[in-house]
A and B are shown apart, each in its own frame.
Chain A
Amino acid sequence: MAERQYTKTHEWITVDGKTATVGITDFAQAQLGDVVFLDLPKPGRKVTRGEAFGVVESVKAASDLFAPVSGTVASVNDKLSTNPELVNSDPYGDGWIMKVEISGEAPTDLMDEGAYKKAAEESAH
């Protein structure tokens, strides 16, 4: 299992062969507060790297979710429709959001954990 990588927009991604698993980071869930709803695409929909594929909503905020890779949605985490709080309690595990069949090459311009932590700290000024 490849190492977790991060985007500027606070998503994480792990890649296993041609399948990517995507979620939001611990920093993001802390910023959002208690998640109450996720608006996610149906399997089969195409997503494009850098473009919004869904929305995560808390009581005080609604944030777009940006796709770290391009491809086709293979599945979304069904548990989140009844238990959106999993995004808060286990953002890297049970709170995963979607799995994508990557089209083309896997992206190489993502951040590693160290670089992401630094970027996140700066953005929180």
Chain B
Amino acid sequence: MPYLVHSPQDREEMLAAIGVESMDQLLVDIPASLRVDELKLPDGLSEFDTMAQVQSLAAKNLVFADRLTFRGGGVYRRFIPTAVAAVTGKPEFYTAYTPYQPEASQGTLQAIFEFQTLIAELTGLDVANASLYDGATAVAEASMMARVQTGRDEILVAGYLHPEYLEVLRTFGEGRGMKVRKGDEPNAKTAAVVFQQPDFLGLLVDARALTERAHAAGALAIACVDPISLAILAPPGEYGADIAVGEGQQLGLAPSYGGPHVGFIACRKDLVRRLPGRLIGSSHDAQGRRGFVLTLTAREQHIRREKATSNICTNHSLCALAASVYLTYMGASGLRQVAETSFKRARSLADRLGKVPGWEPAFPERQFLNEFPMIVPKPRPLLRKLAKKGILGGLEVSRWFRELKGVVTFTCTEVNDPAAIDELVQAVTS
């Protein structure tokens, strides 16, 4: 059997050392009525056969080429520098445990400290945590922070927040009597106004106005932001938002059918004690050497137990490491190039699609970065036609928003070269 190390002789010696004759004597506490004869699973396989089976499952999936992927909706194809996998593939990183013994975990702790700094810089806010599971749960966690901070019960969702994030927010809210309302006008019951920038359709919202309106009502402003967009758009810190959250998948993580990805959260300094999850701080040892440690742990579940703001016990550390490597590799300049190239190509694509008979922009007066909604005459047959040509066309959003019948959002990033855009337009018009 694979991965087991004891030989029959080892087992005999160990039983003898313990002073028993058989395993049954060690399992004596288990009532006989509970014992099972065997697990109803096939026997184990050789690595050859295991991988053959796994590969045959993988082969049943159709993977679209990066350059021919024009579908976003929260998960995007990006250029991922080889350095990212080279770093996250190091066993010292990926097989390491949670850094509870800091002396033995400085690699992880420092890398994630860098992540915290990178996110704080990107979002323009004071402090970021060591990461969360995904953008959806990050929105929920930020909302719970606002609830605890203000003592108010309502979360107001303004505009087109990712529908799955909204759903998760509601699921979290039900447990704690947190009400979720969709609308534009916060009131005295509103703990926070949540908005997404750019929104789920890719359109830019007036983040400053939403923030001011929230504050005027005594509520917090929670901005759910696209991390790449922060290379060019005003970050939450600049327009006064209290908490920034988002999904970090675009920072070096494969789509991987939806996970694992990485959520991030950053806040103003007076909210830091409410931050859920792990926080890493800098410290020193007796010789004055700098080191990093998990800190403010008294906030967390294992100490506060039922009084913690959240039950989150963990972070998506390896994914946060990938994001760190990506951001460090790209730097502000690389990130800006990625955002600008995506912007220009999306504009070019939008112009050309806008000229297709029967097609028109769904919100022509609104600005977008690199994702945009088009009204398309017959979305389903169109997308099927594109798929037959190996193109993953846009995302039909009417499945979530009935008022957006016929609306399909298209995404363009730096991986969609001009020839690929030509292919898409040709396929659409053929």
Contact = CB atoms under 8 A, between A and B. Distances in A.
Contact between A and B in the complex (any CB pair below 8 Å): yes
Interface of A: 36-37, 39, 57-62, 64
Contacts of A62: 298-299, 303-304, 307
A64 B304 CA distance: 10
Contacts of A64: 307
Contacts of A59: 297-298
A124 B299 CA distance: 24
Contacts of A39: 273
B264 to A, nearest CB: 25
Contacts of B297: 59-60
Contacts of A57: 298
B33 to A, nearest CB: 36
A59 B297 CA distance: 7
A92 to B, nearest CB: 24
Contacts of A60: 297-298, 303
A59 B100 CA distance: 13
Interface in B282-302: 297-299
Nearest to B302: A60
Given A37-B298, A57-B298, A62-B307, 11 more contacts: A36-B298, A39-B273, A58-B298, A59-B298, A60-B303, A61-B298, A61-B303, A62-B298, A62-B303, A62-B304, A64-B307
B388 to A, nearest CB: 60
5 contacts: A36-B298, A37-B273, A57-B298, A61-B303, A62-B304
- Among B298, B303, B307, the one with the most A-chain Cβ atoms within 10 Å of its Cβ is B298
A57 B303 CA distance: 10
A23 to B, nearest CB: 20
Interface string B298-339: 110001100100000000000000000000000000000000
Contacts of A37: 273, 298
Interface in B244-294: 273
Interface in B90-146: none
Contacts of B307: 62, 64
- Among B273, B299, B303, the one with the most A-chain Cβ atoms within 10 Å of its Cβ is B303
B73 to A, nearest CB: 40
Nearest to B295: A59
Contacts of B273: 37, 39
- Among A57, A60, A64, the one with the most B-chain Cβ atoms within 10 Å of its Cβ is A57
Contacts of B304: 62
Interface string B224-248: 0000000000000000000000000
A79 to B, nearest CB: 20
B379 to A, nearest CB: 53
B308 to A, nearest CB: 9
A112 B297 CA distance: 35
Contacts of A58: 298
A109 B399 CA distance: 64
A94 B303 CA distance: 27
Nearest to A64: B307
A59 B299 CA distance: 10
A89 to B, nearest CB: 20
A61 B299 CA distance: 9
A96 B298 CA distance: 22
A52 to B, nearest CB: 9
A57 to B, nearest CB: 4
Nearest to A32: B298
Nearest to A56: B298
A39 B303 CA distance: 16
A91 B166 CA distance: 48
Contacts of A36: 298
A36 to B, nearest CB: 8
- 7 A-B pairs with least C-beta separation: A62-B298, A57-B298, A62-B304, A62-B303, A61-B303, A61-B298, A58-B298
Nearest to B304: A62
B276 to A, nearest CB: 14
B307 to A, nearest CB: 8
Contacts of B298: 36-37, 57-62
B303 to A, nearest CB: 6
Nearest to A63: B298
A57 B299 CA distance: 9
Nearest to A62: B298
A60 B299 CA distance: 10
Nearest to B299: A62
A37 B307 CA distance: 16
A36 B298 CA distance: 10
A62 B304 CA distance: 6
A17 B255 CA distance: 69
A28 to B, nearest CB: 15
Nearest to B305: A62
A58 B273 CA distance: 13
A61 B297 CA distance: 8
Interface string B66-93: 0000000000000000000000000000
